[in-house]
């Protein structure tokens, strides 16, 4: 692991930053392509640790994966699946999306992951698979799905309040079950529901019938998944840290190819930055953020956009006043306990952060340099980089963890600030 001195600027950042493809869309497109009725081409594929783990797992299961000179264009050819060893790393999309796919393999599919992932909730998806007629050994990592090439399906009731990925994981493979799948959620509200909307939208594009008429219930009819040539949008959640750099420095950052309509929850960073006093414009596919002289504090419910919390927490730590981030108790079960981690690291640098039952209260305080731990969490690492942009001598450990969703974050960050005083 590398300790990385976060680059410090003393003037406004002015840059145009092109982002690679969305991890969320990439891994959903790859799953649907692997289960489709014929070959598909996925363009704009993010090539990062999470997506490469998905590509490797599908290949191990027998799916044809080919890319030519351009690694961001991948041809996926469905095939009869067989037993395999699947390594999930820290990728929640691999950990939650692939066990249902493994039900259709002819043989055992063994799952394991990085040590940090072993604490992440998994019994929900595995228990649901058992109800749907799938043989599973174990409730935590490592576990084995004993595929038989088919599964009955039917109705299942789950508590998905820890992660929307439990719902998406079941829905993506649902058309392949003999009776389809009906997922009913009970419990606290499902976090990050826009990610479920993304799943439903992509299933519909692939010709799958999804009934969402009843609240907290998703009905997927059995049937073929149409082969689709997917085009992956830029990752708008990854864009957040770069746009926040404009907010933190009073600068201007533009992200091109910003979609006018999207199911990516990361797009909501534009609204948050506007609430903090930034000027935000979308013109000709370019989203441009210009930061104010002083950032305004916010009180905001981040339940649907929890993945943006580290960036927003870092930014409000630089704002003038007290902010309250709520609706994010579920982040205690992400790559790390993000609420505890953010409170610990911001306070280590002189901040004033307290945990609440469902979020964080962050008051303005002068920050100073120090060692920022990333906890093997890519969004914690980028949050440290953001604070280091305007704070002397911030050292971020394990900057390599950003490769989970960004192939070379340090180089992109350095390029963004090139020419800034």
Active site residues: 307
Q: Does 150 appear as a known binding residue?
A: no
Residue 388, CA distances (Å) to 4, 234, 278, 303 in order? 10, 25, 20, 27
The answer to the question of whether 165 is labelled as a binding residue is yes
Establish whether 279 is an annotated binding residue: no
Provide the strand spans (E) within 159-271.
181-185, 210-211, 217-220, 230-231, 252-255
Burial string for 32-64 (b: 16+ CB within 10 Å, else e) reads bbbbbeeebbbebbbbbbbbbbbbbbbebbbbe
CB-CB contact of 85 with 98 (8 Å): no
130 is in an annotated binding site: no
| Residue 11 annotated as part of some ligand binding site | no
The answer to whether 164 is a known ligand-binding residue is: yes
334 is known to lie in a ligand binding site: yes
Give me the residue label for tokens 């079950």: 177
Question: Does the annotation place 332 within a ligand binding site?
Answer: no
Note whether 182 and 218 are within 8 A (CB): yes
How many Å apart are CA 174 and CA 179, to the nearest integer?
A: 9
- d(CA 69, CA 47) in angstroms, rounded, equals 13
The whole-angstrom separation of Cα 420 and Cα 14 is 7
The answer to the question of whether 379 is labelled as a binding residue is yes
Distance CA 141, CA 118 (A): 5
Q: Is 188 annotated as a binding residue?
A: no
Task: Look at the block and give the residue holding tokens 């930053």.
Answer: 17
Q: Is 338 annotated as a binding residue?
A: yes
The verdict on whether residue 56 carries a ligand-binding annotation is no
165 CB neighbour count, 10 Å cutoff: 24
- Annotation: binding site for 3-phosphoshikimate: 23-24, 28, 163-165, 192, 307, 334
- Annotation: binding site for phosphoenolpyruvate: 23, 92, 120, 165, 338, 379, 404
- Annotation: binding site: 23-24, 28, 92, 120, 163-165, 192, 307, 334, 338, 379, 404
């Amino acid at each position: 692991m590398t300790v990385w001195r976060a680059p410090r600027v003393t003037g406004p950042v002015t840059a145009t930053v092109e982002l690679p493809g969305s991890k969320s869309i990439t891994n959903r497109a790859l799953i649907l392509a692997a289960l489709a009725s014929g070959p598909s081409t996925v363009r704009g594929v993010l090539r990062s640790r999470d997506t490469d783990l998905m590509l490797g797992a599908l290949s191990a299961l027998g799916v044809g994966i080919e890319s030519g000179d351009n690694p961001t264009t991948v041809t996926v050819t469905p095939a009869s699946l067989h037993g395999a060893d699947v390594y999930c790393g820290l990728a929640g999309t691999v950990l939650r999306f692939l066990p249902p796919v493994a039900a259709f393999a002819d043989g055992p599919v063994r799952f394991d992951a990085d040590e940090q992932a072993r604490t992440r909730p998994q019994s929900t998806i595995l228990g649901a698979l058992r109800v749907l007629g799938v043989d599973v050994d174990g409730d935590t990592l490592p576990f084995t799905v004993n595929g038989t090439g088919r599964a009955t399906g039917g109705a299942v009731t789950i508590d998905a309040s820890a992660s929307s990925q439990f719902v998406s994981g079941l829905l993506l493979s649902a058309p392949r079950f003999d009776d389809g799948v009906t997922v009913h959620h009970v419990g606290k509200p499902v976090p990050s529901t826009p990610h479920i909307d993304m799943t439903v939208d992509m299933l519909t594009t692939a010709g799958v019938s999804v009934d969402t008429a009843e609240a907290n219930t998703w009905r997927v009819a059995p049937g073929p998944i149409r082969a689709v040539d997917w085009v992956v949008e830029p990752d708008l959640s990854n864009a957040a840290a770069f746009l926040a750099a404009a907010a933190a420095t009073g600068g201007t950052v533009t992200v091109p190819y910003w979609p006018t309509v999207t199911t990516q929850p990361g797009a909501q960073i534009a609204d948050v930055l506007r609430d903090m006093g930034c000027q935000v414009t979308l013109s000709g596919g370019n989203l441009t953020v210009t930061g104010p002289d002083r950032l305004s504090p916010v009180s905001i419910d981040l339940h649907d956009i929890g993945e943006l919390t580290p960036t927003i927490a870092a930014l409000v730590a630089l704002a003038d006043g007290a902010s309250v981030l709520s609706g994010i108790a579920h982040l205690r079960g992400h790559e790390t306990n993000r609420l505890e981690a953010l409170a610990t690291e911001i306070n280590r640098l002189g901040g004033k952060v307290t945990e609440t039952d469902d979020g964080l209260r962050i008051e303005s305080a002068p920050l100073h340099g120090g060692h920022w731990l990333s906890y093997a969490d890519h969004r914690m690492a980028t949050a440290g980089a953001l604070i280091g942009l305007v704070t002397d001598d911030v050292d971020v450990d394990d900057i390599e963890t950003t490769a989970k969703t960004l192939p070379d974050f340090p180089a992109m960050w350095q390029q963004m600030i090139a020419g800034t005083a």
